[in-house]
Chain A
Amino acid sequence: MASETIALGTVDGGARPIGERLHDWVVTVDHKRLGILYIVYSLVFLVIGGIEATIMRIQLIVPHNHFVSPQVFNRMFTMHGTTMIFFVAMPILFGFGTYLVPLMIGARDMAFPRLNAFSFWMTAFGGLLLYFSFIGGGGLYGAGSAPDVGWFAYAPLTSRAFSVGHSTDFWTLALLVSGVGSIGTAVNFITTILCMRCPGMTLGKMPLLAWLNLITGGMVILAVSPLTAAQIMLSIDRYLGGHFFDTQAGGSAVLWMHFFWIFGHPEVYILIVPSFAFASEIIPVFSRKPIFGYPVMVAATVCIGFISFSVWAHHMFTVGMSSYGNTFFTITTMIIAVPTGIKIFNWIGTMWGGKIMFKAPMLFCIGFLFQFLIAGLTGIMLGASPFDWQLGNSYFVVAHFHYVIVGGILFTIFGAFYYWFPKMSGRMYSETLAKWHFWLFLIGFHLTFDFMHIPGVLGMPRRIYTYEPGRGWEIWNLLVTIGVFFQAAGVLVFVFNLLRSLRKGDPAGNDPWDAWTLEWSTTSPPPEYNFAVTPAVNSRRPLWDLKHPEDPDWKYE
C-alpha cells in the first residue's frame, strides 16, 4: 500500500496537464491539501478585507473628505468586519489546524476526510455568497448592493423596512452557510483529536496545538450554533414574515444582540486560542526549552473556554441592562483575564533562561506577547461597565479589538506561516524579507492602533464616515492612516516572499528548526499518507527523544 502510493507520488511530479492537477485540488479529501486551500482562500480574503480597511482609512485621513460616499463607507465597514472574522481569521486558523493536527498526532488524515472537504467548500461558498452581494444585493428593486448593517447587524436595521433589496439576505446566508462549515470542521477536529492519536499519545502527551484545537472545536460547536440559529430566525423574519426581531409586533431587538454576542464573544476566543496554540509551539522551539507549565497551560485554556460563554453581554453595557447584569458581566470579564494572564506568564517562563533565536516566527510571537498584553489591559478597562459607558462604541473600542485581532491573532498567524512554511512547501522563506515584513508591519501596526485609542478617548465614535475639524482628532486620524500604508507594505513583502520562496527558496529538509513534534519527522512537504510507519510516542517531545536517546523526556514526565 505504502510503496504503491510512493510510486504515484513520484509520477505526480511529472508534467500532468494543469486541468487535471486543478481537478485534483477540487476533489481532494487530503487534510494537507484542504488545509492549504483554506489558507490560500483566507489570504485572498485578507487582501480584499485589507483593501476595504484602506478605503475607510483614506476616507478618514482628513475631515470632510469625499473619497467615498456615506453609503459606500457603511458597506466597507460591514464587509471588512464580516470578511475578516468569518472569511479570513476563522478559515485561516481552521486551515492550519486541518493541516497540522493529524500530522502532530501521528494520524493518516482527519477522522472524516469527506466532511473536511464539505466544510471547506461550504466556507468557500459562504464567502462567494457574501461578495456576490456587490452584484446581486440590489435585487429587483435596485436598492443597495453589499450589506451595510455592520458586522453584528443589529435589529431593526436588518428588517425589510430598513434593508430593502437582498444585501442583508446575502449577509445572513453567507454566515449561515459558512457556519455549517465551521460546525463540520469542529466536529472533525474533536473526533480526530480524541480518536486518531498514534499509540502512546495520551491526552497528557499531546502537543499543545492539538489540545488547544480540541478546546477551540468545543467552543465552535457551542458558539457558532447559536449564530446559526439566530441567522435562521433572521431569515424567517425576512422571508416568511416572522416577528422575532420585529419590535412593532412585540419582538425584541435586544434579543438579537444577546444571540449575536453569545456567539460573538466566544468567537474572539475561538480565534485567539488557536493563536495561543501557534505561540505555544513556536516559543519553546525558538527558546530551546520545553514549554513551561504544560498542564497549567491546558487547564487555563479549558477555563477560558468555559468562562468565555459567560461574558458576552460586556458588549452590551451601553444598551442599558440591569445593575445586576452589569455587575455580573463586569466580574466575569475580570475573571477571564486571570487564565489569560497565566498563559502569558507561561510563555515568558518558557523564554526565561532559554537560548532565544530571533528568527521571523519568534519575532512575531514576541510581538504578539507584548501586544496581546496591552490588548488584554484595554479589555479589562472596557470590561468595567462604568468605563464602558464612557468609551463604548468609540474608536477606543475599535483600537482595543484590533489590538487583539491584529496585534494578537494576526501576528501569531504570520509567525505560524514562517514556522510551518518550510514544512508545507519544502522550501525555506527568505529571512531578510521576513524581517522586513516584521518591522514594517510592527511599525504600521503601532502607528495605526496605538494612536487609534486617542481619538476614541477624545470622543470620536466608531462607524462615522467623516468628522468636523477642530475637535483634536485630525492629527491622530492622519497618523492612523499613515500606519495603514506601512502595514500594507509589510503584507506586500510577505506575499512577495511567499511567492518567491515557493519557486526559488532553498530546500528546507525535514526539520529545519530542530523541532520536537511529529510533523517534523516526515518529509517536507509530507507525503499523502503522512507517515510511512505509524509513529509511537512516549513523551510530549517525541523527536527530542529520538535525537537524544541518552536523555529522553519520558524519564521526567
Chain B
Amino acid sequence: MSSTALTGPSIEAQWVLPSRGRVGMISLIAAESAIFTIFVVAYIFYIGRSASRPMPKDVLELPIIATICLLSSSLTIHLAVRALRKVEVSAFGFWWLLTMTLGTIFLVGTGREWRRFIFEDGLTITTNLFGTTYYSLVGLHAFHVTVGLVAIALVMIFTLLGKVKPEHSERLEVFSMYWHFVDAVWVVVFTVVYVIGR
C-alpha cells in the first residue's frame, strides 16, 4: 500500500483490520439483543399478572420438535458454510436446503401453536397480559426466523442457479452469525416462556 510522507518510522507491512461484515453483524446482533432483552424483561415482569384466563399453564405445551429442528439448523448452516469453504458446492447445497427445511418446520410449528391458541383456547393478543406478552415475544422471534428464512431461500435460489461460489463463503458466514443468534434467542424464549413462565 502506498503512503504519503506523513510517515516517520516505517509502518508495519501487515496492516490487518477486522472484517467489516463480522463487525457490522456483531453490532447488529448487539442491537437486536437489546430489543429482545426489553421484550423478555416485559414478559418476566408480567408473569402471573394476567387479570383473566387462560393462564400459561392452561395452554402451553413444550414445542420439543420445533426446538430440536431450530437448534439443529445451527449445526447444518455451519456445515454448509464449511462445505462451501472447502469448494464442495453440492454439499453446501444439501446442508443449506436442510437448514431451510428445519427453519420452515420450526415456523410451521409456531403457526400451528398459534392456530390452536386462537381457535381452540381463545387466546389472542387482546385477551389478557399473557396473550399480549406471549404473542409479542414469540412473534418477534418468529419474525426474525422469517427474515432469516427469506435470506436463506434467496441464497438457495442462487445456489440452484449455480451463482454461489466459494468466494461467497465469508458473506454466508456473516449471515450464519445472524442465524446462530436467532437460535440463541430461541433458547432464551423457550426457557422464559415454556419453562419459567409456565
Other-chain residue from A186, A188, A195, A251 in contact with B129 (beta carbon distance below 8 A): A251
Other-chain residue from B19, B23, B38, B126 in contact with A230 (beta carbon distance below 8 A): B38
B191 at the interface (CB under 8 A from A): no
Where chain A touches its partner, the secondary structure class is helix
Are B2 and A533 in contact (CB-based, < 8 A)? Answer: yes
- Give the residues in chain B near A334, CB-CB below 8 Å: none
A521 at the interface (CB under 8 A from B): yes
Interface-central residue, B3, B11, B31, by most chain A CB under 10 Å: B31
Are B3 and A191 in contact (CB-based, < 8 A)? Answer: no
Identify the stretch in A9-17, A166-174, A235-243, A274-282 within 8 Å (CB) of chain B at 4 or more residues: A235-243
Interface bits B1-30 vs A (CB < 8 Å: 1, else 0): 111111111010001011110011001101
Other-chain residue from B4, B33, B38, B136 in contact with A242 (beta carbon distance below 8 A): B136
Given A221-B31, A229-B39, the answer on whether A545 and B6 have CB atoms closer than 8 Å is: yes
Identify the stretch in B45-53, B67-75, B92-100 within 8 Å (CB) of chain A at 4 or more residues: B45-53
- Can you name the residue of chain A whose Cβ is closest to the Cβ of B133? A244
A535 at the interface (CB under 8 A from B): yes
Other-chain residue from B1, B9, B42 in contact with A233 (beta carbon distance below 8 A): B42
Are A536 and B6 in contact (CB-based, < 8 A)? Answer: yes
Q: Complex: how many Å from CA A395 to CA B38?
A: 32
Q: Complex: how many Å from CA A545 to CA B33?
A: 43
Interface-central residue, B5, B6, B33, B140, by most chain A CB under 10 Å: B6
- Give the residues in chain A near B136, CB-CB below 8 Å: 232-233, 236, 242, 244
A194 at the interface (CB under 8 A from B): yes
Are B3 and A187 in contact (CB-based, < 8 A)? Answer: no
Are B23 and A194 in contact (CB-based, < 8 A)? Answer: yes
Interface residues of A in 495-527 (CB under 8 A from B): 521
Are A535 and B6 in contact (CB-based, < 8 A)? Answer: yes
Q: Complex: how many Å from CA A243 to CA B131?
A: 9
Are A190 and B129 in contact (CB-based, < 8 A)? Answer: no
- Give the residues in chain B near A188, CB-CB below 8 Å: 24
Are B35 and A536 in contact (CB-based, < 8 A)? Answer: no
Q: Complex: how many Å from CA A390 to CA B132?
A: 37
Are A240 and B24 in contact (CB-based, < 8 A)? Answer: no
Are A249 and B129 in contact (CB-based, < 8 A)? Answer: yes
- Give the residues in chain A near B11, CB-CB below 8 Å: 199-200, 536, 538
Given A221-B34, A226-B38, A534-B2, the answer on whether A187 and B46 have CB atoms closer than 8 Å is: no
A554 at the interface (CB under 8 A from B): yes
- Give the residues in chain A near B104, CB-CB below 8 Å: none
Other-chain residue from A194, A232, A241 in contact with B126 (beta carbon distance below 8 A): A241
A197 at the interface (CB under 8 A from B): yes
**Shortest Cβ distance from residue A210 to the other chain B in the assembled complex, whole angstroms:** 13
Given A196-B17, A236-B132, the answer on whether A255 and B45 have CB atoms closer than 8 Å is: yes
Interface residues of A in 391-432 (CB under 8 A from B): none
**Shortest Cβ distance from residue B127 to the other chain A in the assembled complex, whole angstroms:** 9
Given A236-B132, A251-B129, the answer on whether A195 and B19 have CB atoms closer than 8 Å is: yes
Are B125 and A242 in contact (CB-based, < 8 A)? Answer: yes
Are A217 and B8 in contact (CB-based, < 8 A)? Answer: no
Are A195 and B7 in contact (CB-based, < 8 A)? Answer: no
Interface footprint category on A: 35 or more
- Can you name the residue of chain B whose Cβ is closest to the Cβ of A549? B8
- Give the residues in chain A near B125, CB-CB below 8 Å: 236, 240-242
Q: Complex: how many Å from CA A462 to CA B8?
A: 58
- Give the residues in chain A near B1, CB-CB below 8 Å: 199, 534, 536
- Give the residues in chain A near B20, CB-CB below 8 Å: 111-112, 191, 195-196
- Can you name the residue of chain B whose Cβ is closest to the Cβ of A111? B20
A137 at the interface (CB under 8 A from B): no
**Shortest Cβ distance from residue A188 to the other chain B in the assembled complex, whole angstroms:** 8
Q: Complex: how many Å from CA A521 to CA B7?
A: 13
**Shortest Cβ distance from residue B8 to the other chain A in the assembled complex, whole angstroms:** 5
Are A226 and B15 in contact (CB-based, < 8 A)? Answer: no
Are A229 and B4 in contact (CB-based, < 8 A)? Answer: no
B37 at the interface (CB under 8 A from A): yes
Are B34 and A222 in contact (CB-based, < 8 A)? Answer: yes
A207 at the interface (CB under 8 A from B): no
**Shortest Cβ distance from residue B171 to the other chain A in the assembled complex, whole angstroms:** 13
Interface-central residue, A190, A199, A252, A554, by most chain B CB under 10 Å: A199
| B residues apposed to A, CB below 8 Å | 1-9, 11, 15, 17-20, 23-24, 27-28, 30-39, 42, 45-46, 49-51, 125-126, 128-129, 132-133, 136, 140
With A240-B125, A242-B136 given, can you name 9 additional A-B contacts, CB distance below 8 Å? Answer: A194-B17, A221-B31, A226-B37, A241-B125, A250-B46, A252-B45, A521-B4, A521-B6, A536-B4
> Can you offer 20 A-B residue contacts whose CB atoms are under 8 A?
A111-B20, A186-B31, A188-B24, A195-B19, A199-B1, A200-B11, A221-B27, A221-B34, A226-B35, A229-B35, A233-B136, A241-B126, A242-B126, A249-B128, A250-B129, A251-B46, A252-B45, A534-B2, A536-B4, A555-B8
